[in-house]
Amino acid sequence: MSTVIIVANLGHLKAFRVAETPMGTKKLELIIEIEFPEAHGRIQDKVTDMAGRFPVADGTGVAMAHGEALKAELEVERRLVKLVGEQIEEVLNTERPEYWHLAATSEIHQALLNELPAELRQRVIRHLHADLTNVPVPELLERFARVKAA
C-alpha cells in the first residue's frame, strides 16, 4: 500500500513517500519541496506602486487604505491556496498513492482540500491542522501515527 504525506503552508510545501526499510520500519523519502516566494514580504510591496495607492488620513497616499489592504491580502491568500492546491494535485497524480495524509494550518486546511478533485479528497485518511513544514523528518511519522484515521 503506497502512502504520501504532504505538509504545507502558504509559503512552503513538502511531499514525502512513506517507504519501508529492509528492517521493516517506515521512513520518509522526500518527493518534492517547493518554496512559494509570493507568500513572503509585505502586501503593500506586491499589489501596487506609490502612484496607485489610495490616500489615507494623513493625505500623503503613502500607506494603503485599510480596506484596500485587507482585500489585497485576501486575494493573495486565495491565489496561494490555489497554487499550493495545484501542486498537491500534481504530486498526488504523479505518485498515485492509495492513501495520503495532509498537515496544513487550520486557516487553509479546508481551502486546500476544496482545491482538489473529489477522488483525491476521498483518499486522504489523516488530517493535522498544524504547520509541520519545519518539523524534522523523523518526527513527521510520529505526528501522523498519533492521529486517528478518518
Please, what is the average pLDDT of the chain?
84
Residue 132, domain CATH: 3.30.420.60
Does residue 57 lie in a domain region?
Answer: yes
Polymer length in residues for the chain: 150
Tell me whether residue 143 is exposed, middle or buried, using C-beta atoms within 10 angstroms of its C-beta: 0 to 12, 13 to 18, 19 or more.
middle
pLDDT tens profile 38-49: 765 544 444 555
For residue 144, pLDDT over 70 is answered with yes
Does residue 42 lie in a domain region?
Answer: yes
To which residue does cell 501596487 refer? 48
Strands (E), 1-150: 3-8, 12-20, 26-35, 99-104, 124-129
Does residue 150 lie in a domain region?
Answer: no
Q: How confident is the model at residue 21 (pLDDT cuts 50, 70, 90)?
A: confident
Determine the 3-state secondary structure of 128 from DSSP: strand
Does residue 33 lie in a domain region?
Answer: yes
Does residue 25 lie in a domain region?
Answer: yes
Report residue 128 CA to chain centroid gap.
12
Burial 120-138 (b: 16+ CB within 10 A, else e): beeebbbbbeebbbeeeee
pLDDT tens profile 24-65: 889 999 999 999 887 655 444 445 555 555 555 555 544 555
**Cβ of 13: how many Cβ atoms within 10 Å?**
23
Tally of domains in the chain: 1
Flag whether the pTM goes above 0.75: yes
The residue range of the domain holding 128 is 3-145
